[in-house]
Amino acid sequence: MVEQLLTTKKRFELPELRTIGGATIRDLAVGYETYGALNEARDNAILVAHYFSGASHAAGRYRPEDPLPGYWDAIIGPGKAVDTIRYFVISSDTLVNFNAHDPNVITTGPASLDPATGKPYGLSFPPVAIADFVRVQRALIDSLGIAKLRAVMGPSMGGLQTFEWAAAYPEMVERIIPVIASPHFTGWLTAWMTIWTEPIRLDPDWRGGAYDRSASPRAGLEAAIRAMTLHGLQSAWSWSAGGRASAEGADPADIAASPFAIDRTLADGARARVPLADANHMLYLARANQTFIPGAGAGAASLAEGMARIKAPTLLIHAPDDLVFRPEWVEATAATLRGQGVAVESATLSGPFGHYNGIVQIAQASDRIADFLARAI
């Protein structure tokens, strides 16, 4: 019988964070989880950074009766690719976490109370960057007495954080595993993220970000989640969601309605997420991704400057039919790193889920991940 991995949410507090934009955030808190044990030498730690709409619940369950484990449970746990008998795994919630109202998430962002006013920050919360997420992680890692990470890894936005770690703190990162992510994205993705979030700004209940939680822009947030979800999937997935069929009892001639089965599937999924998510947090997350430059936390001002700072051996894992971080961008990242002498390996994931193959199909890369982590560098 496979041992069930159980975990608890921990809280990390930072009295003050100076963002790369020059703002100061006080009384900051984020949640984190750990799996396995830190060895005496403190050299077996692996940091896992989460994706855009995810949280630190990367593996295991909080309670044995929980219906689902963490998102990467297929590869994190005793005897798995990221073996928690051998490694100490850390995963933390980001600032401005998408799931700001989930009781299992601890984050600081626009929905948090400003200690100076006692009211939610709203859009007075300073803009934050991926580099700021990593600065908080660095403070957490320091608080645990860890001087060097055996690896940093993560999917999508977690992959961007992985590149930031390698560029901003090269002396602390032994190797990296970015999954379904690339710093070489174009304005095409920038524009897509604006499309994801535009329904929030168009919802009259958004009120320029100054909404009350009891009257939040739910319709706009639901539409935003639907746009994000569909972009992350691939057309083959649509057959499992009804294909082109009409929903039961729907009339395709009703122009005022959304009568198709796939629309209902997306709407039901989005509606389930709205109570735990926050609209302003989604806007801040999108901007942090849109403005990403690796090594920004160390002063890098361009993609080329940031990439030049990366020295860590790299295992790039991507999905060839990914419509979010397209394969040609991942290939450009591999070419850039190889061109500056970095040891780069790659692996691919297949399945009908497009970008989301990096989460739900990650077990396909188990052997590659296990070998890469175990190898002496």
pLDDT at residue number 1:
47
- Give per-residue burial for 122-154: e unless 16+ CB within 10 Å, then b: eeebbbbbbbbbbbbbbebbeeeebeebbbbbb
pLDDT in tens, 68-77: 999 999 999 9
Phi, psi of 56 (to 5 degrees): -75, 0
Helix ranges restricted to H, 126-278? 130-143, 157-168, 187-202, 218-232, 261-273
What is the residue extent of each domain of the chain? Answer: 10-186+291-374, 190-282
pLDDT in tens, 187-235: 999 999 999 999 999 999 999 999 999 999 999 999 999 999 999 999 9
Helix ranges restricted to H, 216-292? 218-232, 261-273, 279-290
Q: What is the mean pLDDT of residues 62-81?
A: 97
Residue 3 has pLDDT above 80, yes or no: no
- For residues 192 and 185, the answer to whether their CB atoms sit within 8 Å is no
pLDDT in tens, 255-277: 988 889 999 999 999 999 999 99
Q: Which residues are catalytic?
A: 156, 322, 355
E strands, the chain, are: 10-18, 24-35, 45-48, 76-77, 82-83, 88-92, 151-155, 176-179, 314-318, 344-348
Q: Please name the amino acid found at residue 275.
A: P
Per-chain mean pLDDT for the chain: 97
pLDDT band for position 352 (50/70/90)? very high
**Please, is 375 exposed, middle or buried when counting C-beta atoms within 10 Å of its C-beta (0-12, 13-18, 19+)?**
exposed
- Please state which of the four CATH numbers 3.40.1190.20, 3.40.50.1820, 3.40.50.300, 3.40.50.720 is assigned to the domain occupying 10-186+291-374: 3.40.50.1820
Q: What is the mean pLDDT of residues 275-285?
A: 98
pLDDT in tens, 140-185: 999 999 999 999 999 999 999 999 999 999 999 999 999 999 999 9
Q: Which token pair is 289? A: 């991704």
Cα–Cα dist 315/225, whole Å: 30
pLDDT at residue number 326:
98
Q: Which token pair is 191? A: 């524009």
Find the helix or strand (DSSP H, E) in which 333 lies. Answer: helix 327-339
Cα–Cα dist 138/140, whole Å: 5
Residue 116 has pLDDT above 80, yes or no: yes
pLDDT at residue number 210:
96
pLDDT at residue number 2:
57
- For residues 284 and 128, the answer to whether their CB atoms sit within 8 Å is yes
pLDDT at residue number 131:
98
Could you tell me the pTM of the whole model? 0.97
pLDDT band for position 32 (50/70/90)? very high
**CATH class label, 190-282:** mainly alpha
- For residues 226 and 197, the answer to whether their CB atoms sit within 8 Å is no
Q: Smallest Cα–Cα separation from 8: which of 56, 71, 68, 78?
A: 56
CA angle, 320 then 322 then 324, to 5°: 145
Q: What is the mean pLDDT of residues 325-345?
A: 98
Cα–Cα dist 277/111, whole Å: 10
Residue bearing tokens 């122009």: 255
Phi, psi of 112 (to 5 degrees): -75, 160
pLDDT at residue number 377:
87
pLDDT at residue number 140:
98
Task: Estimate the share of the chain in helix, then strand, then coil, as percent rounded to the nearest 5.
Answer: 40, 15, 45
